[in-house]
Amino acid sequence: MKIQNRRYTGSKYKLMPWIKELILQNCRVHDSLFDVFGGTGVVTAELLCITKENIINDFLFSNETIYRAFFGNGKYDPVKLEEYVKEYNSLDRKKLKENYVSENYGDRYFKNEDAKLIGHIREDIQLSLTAGKINKREYNILLSSLLYSLDRCANTVGHYEAYIKGKEIRSEFVYELIEPIETSNKITIYRSDANELVKRISADIAFIDPPYNSRQYSRFYHVLETITKWEKPKLAGTAMKPPEENMSDYCRKSAPEVFGELIDSLSVRYIIVTYNNTYDSKSTSSRNKITLEQIKETLERKGKTKVFETGYHRFNAGKTDTTDHKEMVFITEVDA
């Protein structure tokens, strides 16, 4: 599986040919790229061919693990990893014991027998690392492969805010390996608060695709976060969520001020910001916390700003009218 082969709200994968062309046409230098809100990691991945140094950041534990699997520079043994795949897919899930994943997510997010296998694999990956059977890069690859594999069969509409009720859940889980990305670029990975990290980073370009609405990504992808961290917290509510953590100010009323602080702190030559026009959405959770006008005013304080737009079919869980939806890209050349 490649880095784009996952379901993720706001993924820019399909827009990357257009965005890459905008960068080449409007940014005279693009050797170093700072992907401030990395998300799926597809922006960094798609721009490796026009950059030499890449910094990628996201505050989700699952995304950091995925970055270290795809972009990490540690060595790994492909033959050994394939042996794990064969072993996991040969297991009789019906004979496996109940575990943390099946007890919490079984017959909710996954068929119970699939959930037992997912939990078994997750525990085995952890034990393999502890026993020294795999190194940290191999651990990240195996764990990321589990996240990608379970995401394919999850009983959801593409995120984990809730699971689909009232339908039969089929057993569809198959464990497959991700395909790490080979590159000569220097890549640095962070899991940090973006507003604090930007004070310490310099680059030619900052690519900024922050959350704009009230959907907290740590809650949207809580199943992936819980399986990644593997601390086995007590889960609660219909959606079986852990206690709150990693709650972003970009999903609150303070978003315009927080965004302004971020932009003011950047030490780059160009700023690229992506934005979609859902501010007037009928769904309050989809409605943007920052308006287009606020984005433009903030960026123009840093330098000359150009705005580009294209039609785009975005993720829609059913409540948001996406008629005439547009994706916009702001490119600011920072004043000397």
Strand, helix or coil for residue 37: coil
Q: Is the dihedral of CA 192, 197, 203, 207 positive or negative?
A: positive
Strand ranges of the sheet holding 326-334, from the earlier edge strand across to the other edge: 186-190, 53-57, 32-35, 202-208, 267-276, 326-334, 303-311
Name residue, tokens 């996952």.
6
pLDDT for position 318: 45
d(CA 267, CA 158): 35
Vertex 296 angle, CA 199 and 291, to 5°: 100
Q: Note the pLDDT tens digit of each residue in 182-209.
A: 999 999 999 999 999 999 999 999 999 9
| Segment among 2-11, 171-180, 224-233, 246-255 with least mean pLDDT | 246-255
- Tokens representing 244? 């709150």
Domains and their CATH numbers in the chain: 13-60+184-214+252-334 (3.40.50.150)
pLDDT for the residue 312 = 64
Contacts of 22 (CB under 8 A, 6+ apart): 272, 308, 329, 331
Whole-model pTM: value is: 0.91
d(CA 20, CA 43): 9
Residue 278 has a pLDDT of 57
Lookup: tokens for 84:
């794990």
Residue from 237, 296, 241, 242 nearest 271 by CA: 296
Query: Which H, E and C letters describe 64-90, residue by residue?
Result: HHHHHHHHCCCCCCHHHHHHHHHHHHH
> What tens digit of pLDDT does each residue of 121-160 get?
999 999 999 999 999 999 999 999 999 999 999 999 889 9
Residues of the chain with pLDDT > 70, as a percent, come to 90
Res. 323 pLDDT band, cuts 50 70 90: low
